[in-house]
Amino acid sequence: MNLCGIELAHPIINASGTFDAIAARRAFGDALLARFPFAAFVSKTVTVEPRQGNPPPRLWELPAGMINSIGLPNKGLEGYLAYDLPELAQLPVPLIVNVMGFTREQVAKLVTAFGERDEVAGLELNVSCPNVETGLIMGADPAETAALVDAVRPLTTKPLIVKLTPNCTSPADVAAAAEAHGADAVSLVNTLRGMAFHPRRAGQPWLGGGTGGVSGPAVRAVALAQVAEVRARVGIPIVGMGGVQSGRHAYDLLQAGADVVAVGTESFRDPLAGARIAVELTEIPANSGISGADSRGCREVIAHKA
């Protein structure tokens, strides 16, 4: 199959920042390359300047998922090009680099730099991180998103995937703006803003960053609804994600209108979850009794409401 020009062996990829392929290669050696769990690898977010990330604690576990306040720690553009890119280029699958800037100029710099690299199959524009000090989320506003895509579209011929936030009034409006201004695909959902209090210090946030992003099974229903709403508005491919733990969950997102499914939080529990889910997915139509036609009804309901 094909995601806007990127060849994929199956429809399961990773959600940015949820699988450290460089650390996994150190732990599992070349066995990781022989059994790589995803059809493409999406890198953790890269910014122009190096970042330490947010103060600890950075994670809080929930009954059905977790809240992260990681805060984009990364080596910056130069460090990524020097150290991470050569290692990630050895993976046996296409590499999609996730980039984020605090201004359009920064995003343009990142897109230009990665657009020139043969190792990079495509770019994901992260306009949806909930964990930045400014609280600014470019992707919360259709006009901001349109202006960003306008600014960077001419800078590369590589596929541009815009990663949408669920923390806004209408992700479908933002998706439509991204498509109208030249995005090749959209991905959703990034995490939902959430917080947790310290168990022994009432009123004090647990996370060093104060608030964080909720992921895992807790957000699955939100992801399904938002993917269906976005599908009703755009024709470009959708990478759907949010709480996928099984082939059935992936299947549901595909029925809601996704073309490709990303696995995130589940990979922390099981690093081979992506491969397992890809296999489970192939088994579903044969043994579930669900036909595509039956479940496509959900898209029609959403399209009717939109």
Contact between 70 and ligand RRO per CB under 6 A: yes
Which among 106, 105, 88 has a CA at the least distance from the CA of 97? Answer: 88
Site track 109-138 with ligand RRO (rule: CB under 6 A), x = hit: -----------------x-xxxx-------
In this chain, which stretch among 69-77, 89-97, 109-117, 268-276 interacts with ligand RRO, using CB under 6 A?
69-77
Residue 219: left if φ>0, alpha if ψ -120 to 50, beta else—which one? alpha
DSSP 3-state of 158 = coil
Q: Which of 159, 171, 194, 213 binds ligand RRO (CB under 6 A)?
A: 213
In this chain, which stretch among 67-75, 114-122, 217-225, 246-254 interacts with ligand RRO, using CB under 6 A?
67-75
Q: Which of 6, 21, 72, 234 binds ligand RRO (CB under 6 A)?
A: 72
Site track 175-204 with ligand RRO (rule: CB under 6 A), x = hit: ---------------xx-------------
3-state helix, strand, coil in the chain (%, to 5): 40, 20, 40
Contact 110, 48 (CB under 8 A): yes
Question: Is position 129 annotated as part of the catalytic site?
Answer: yes
Which residue in 4, 129, 168, 298 is the catalytic one? 129
Contact 40, 283 (CB under 8 A): no
- Residue 70 or residue 140: which is nearer to ligand RRO going by CB? 70
CA distances to 16, 31, 49, 174, 229 from 45, in Å: 7, 25, 12, 20, 26
The single residue listed with the structure tokens 């009703």 is: 232
Phi, psi of 262 (to 5 degrees): -105, 140
- Residue 214 or residue 234: which is nearer to ligand RRO going by CB? 214
- Residue 191 or residue 226: which is nearer to ligand RRO going by CB? 191
Q: Which residues are catalytic?
A: 129
Binding site for ligand RRO (CB under 6 A): 17, 45, 68, 70-72, 126, 128-131, 190-191, 213
